[in-house]
Amino acid sequence: MKKILTILLVVLLASTTLFAVEFSGRFRAGYTFNFGDKFSVSPWKTNEAKLKLTVSDDAGIWTINIKDVQGDLDSDDKLGANLSLDIAALLAANDVNLGDVSLAISIGANEKMTALSAYNDVTGDGGYKVKNNGEYSSELAVGYGDLIKAKIALDPTVKEAPIVASLMSSPVSGLNVSVAYAHHGVIYTGGSDDNAWNAEHAFGAAMDLNIADLAGLDFDLGLAAYDNVGFNKVGTNNEYLKDDMNTFAASVYGGIDLVDAFFEFRMDNDLANDATTLGMKTQVNFNVLENLGFDVYFAIGNFDAIDTTFKVGGDVSYTISGVEFAAQLEYAGATQAFSVTPKVIVVF
């Protein structure tokens, strides 16, 4: 333990003059008080902290990302890390200028690699993502200005060689479109990246139309949508099941400085079983005072079971000196009860 900490300290002290070192992460903790038939208290988050260490050179050519720094270190511990190498910057430093062309690679502890997506994730739930199901992927990214970007990631260490390829384009200001494909990939149901659906083949398409940019409006207004399809569900023993899934979402968002809002509609269609689940979420954010956050929301997980899948609530927060003090009040149909969640969050 002491040996590892000493080595890290020496590296950090030396790197302050040679490299750029940055710690980032978050801490969040709180309690949820449930007022139902029986009063109960539970932790808001059981994994309170996340830490990431980034080391890069001053020229911006390479970056080493050390992820998920946690627990006690000893002489047998290793840290998961990946290397991002900006080939365009490397060539420019050696008098080869690629102009508007971008070129970069990543290698190391890259697990599930995420495809490019044009979707404006208004809910922040991450359900739009298409990924490969890798464990040690390498990725190549190329682009030309803001016009077009492409990424391809492959894990050759896994028997099925999970791959994900994607393309995103912004042909005009205010319009973004993207397409993606993954072999042994992952899509998500229920509008959240908590609900992984593994597929032998996965396809995705997304768009974001910022009407305010296109029309020169003095307020924000936009439309976004994605459509992801997974074929041949992968079972727990990597067997292929005769099951296909289509997950779709569309949203409208907009507002002014004082208030903004969004509405997202989603659909999950289990094609093999001809079963469709419809859901929605809407939220209004009030931006009245600096550092004060306040919103109200309403969500339905499944329109066929509104009574047990709806949620209505609100959040209020105040940030001072980098510390966010917040509270959430919610009524959930699943429990038929109110809950109050005071919490504290530090992001650095």
Least confidently predicted of 40-54, 110-124, 274-288: 40-54
Of 82, 206, 92, 65, nearest in space to 155 by CA: 82
Residue 30 and residue 344 in contact, taking contact as beta carbons nearer than 8 Å: yes
Query: What DSSP state is assigned to residue 127?
Result: T
Give the residue carrying structure tokens 């979402």.
249
Query: What DSSP state is assigned to residue 43?
Result: E
Categorise residue 334: left if φ over 0, alpha if ψ from -120 to 50, beta otherwise.
alpha
Domain locations in the chain as residue ranges: 110-258
Query: Is residue 13 scored above 70 in pLDDT?
Result: no
Phi–psi pair at 301, nearest 5 degrees: -75, -35
Q: Which residues pair with 208 in a beta bridge?
A: 176, 224
Torsion of CA 327, 331, 336, 338, to 10 degrees: 30
Mean pLDDT computed over 278-293 = 96
The reported pTM is: 0.85
State the burial class of residue 285 (Cβ atoms within 10 Å of its Cβ: 0-12, 13-18, 19+): middle
Read off the pLDDT of residues 137-148 as tens digits, 9 standing for 90 and up: 999 999 999 899
Read off the pLDDT of residues 79-90 as tens digits, 9 standing for 90 and up: 678 899 999 999
Tell me the C-alpha distance between 307 and 302, whole Å.
9
Q: Which are the contacts of 275, defined by CB distance < 8 A and separation ≥ 6? A: 269
What pLDDT sits at residue 58?
Answer: 82
| 323-327-329 Cα angle (round to 5) | 165
